[in-house]
Amino acid sequence: MLKIKDSVDLKVLENFGFGYHPKHNRRRYIRGNIFIYENNDTQRKESCKKFNLQYFYPRVIYIRNYQAYLNSDGIDDIPLDSVLMELIQAGIVEVFEDE
């Protein structure tokens, strides 16, 4: 998985066309099908495992509908791969491995 580096202020995502959604129980940045969660204050990893729910790691880049991602050319007339490449080329992304 890819994640935004801990040393990067997430507000920089707005420079890449992401919108900030603060009024959700899990604050997040969204651009098309790409979601990056700011926090998990209301979500505990153990509870998610117990109830078989998906846990969203902070700062990890999620693609909401992966099959649609594979079948689409892009979002907002911009190829999804180029959105991810912009983040990688800016040096704000690193590899994240789940425990």
- Which domain does 33 fall in, by range? 2-95
Overall average pLDDT of the 68-77 stretch: 53
Contact 28, 19 (CB under 8 A): no
* Statement: residue 63 has pLDDT above 60: yes
What token pair was written down for 32?
A: 């098309």
Residue 6 has phi, psi (to 5 degrees) of -60, -25
The domain total for the chain is 1
* Average per-residue pLDDT for the chain: 80
pTM of the predicted model, to two decimals?
0.76
pLDDT for 24-48, tens place per residue? 667 889 988 888 988 765 567 777 7
Contacting residues for 62 by C-beta, under 8 A, at least 6 apart = 34, 35, 36, 37, 56
Tokens 């099908």 belong to: 33
Beta-bridge partner residues of 20: 29
pLDDT for 78-98, tens place per residue? 566 788 889 999 999 998 887
Residue type, 62: Y
